Amino acid sequence: MKISVCLASYNGQLFIEQQIKSILAQLSEYDELIVSDDCSTDKTLEIVETLNDKRIKIFSGIRYGSPIRNFENALKHATGDVIFLSDQDDVWLPNKVKIMTSYFHQYDVVVSNCSIVDKELNIIKDSFFLSVNTRKVFFNNLYDNHYLGCCMAFKKKVLDIILPFPKKIAMHDIWIGLCAEAFYKSIFVDDVLLLYRRHGGNASPTSERSSACLLTKLWYRFYFLIQVGYRMLLWRR
């Protein structure tokens, strides 16, 4: 089973080396780490290149201006049987890959638990699942998203449904999560397998309450529902 880890980077020089090293330590020589860089203006690319690991494949030169489109680009280059998503500033705990891949004989999408930490890795919340009362229910997650992209892994066939990303989605993780529940067998794993770092430079506020107005929230949820329905029609053809 070949593993592809898709990491979207942008000005991540502070934490990206620690994150990448925690990933590479769990990959075999046949696996790959896809780094899609959104034209970083700091030393992000220099740091990644200095690691000098043949498993790292860098794709850069296009400015997306969005973590959604940056992740979409990374996914387009993935060649593995199983795909993991990765932020640039977290830390994978030992056995994350081993534990999550053990579920793929029965499931298509696996979502692990994580601990929320500050920039110094001090624990803020021991369990993300407990903090948000995570449940694997489509309409529950449509209303209040409990999917974190950095905790997700899925079989390559899932790309057939989720790509291309719809043009106006709020974040990629809720889109992938909703598609997982609508089309595939998914599971939430209670094991804490990631340190999810929250700091002032995070690209997405996934674990925090949205400040968007009620009308905007309703519009996005309606849009997600329409897009999932449209993919379902295409899938059944």
Supply the CATH number for residue 98's domain.
Answer: 3.90.550.10
In this structure, how many other beta carbons lie within 10 angstroms of the beta carbon of residue 189?
Answer: 18
Top pLDDT among 203 and 221 is at 221
| Mean predicted confidence (pLDDT) in 75-83 | 98
| Mean predicted confidence (pLDDT) in 31-45 | 98
Domains in the chain, number: 1
What does the alpha-carbon distance between residue 162 and residue 152 come to, in Å, rounded to a whole number? 14
- Say what the pLDDT of residue 34 is: 98
Q: Which domain holds residue 54?
A: 3-236
| Mean predicted confidence (pLDDT) in 218-231 | 81
Q: Is the pLDDT of residue 7 over 80?
A: yes
Residues facing 110 on adjacent strands: 153, 187
> Which two three-digit tokens encode residue 165?
């990303």
| Mean predicted confidence (pLDDT) in 43-61 | 98
Q: Please give the share of the chain, as a percent, with pLDDT higher than 70.
A: 89
Q: Average the pLDDT over each of 25-34, 93-102, 196-205 and give the range with the smallest value.
A: 196-205
pTM for the full predicted model: 0.89
> Which two three-digit tokens encode residue 156?
């390559």
Mean pLDDT of the chain: 89
- Say what the pLDDT of residue 201 is: 62
The string of DSSP codes covering 5-26 is: EEEEESS-TTTHHHHHHHHHTT
- Say what the pLDDT of residue 60 is: 97
> Which two three-digit tokens encode residue 39?
């034209």
Q: Is the pLDDT of residue 23 over 70?
A: yes
Place of tokens 């968007």: 212
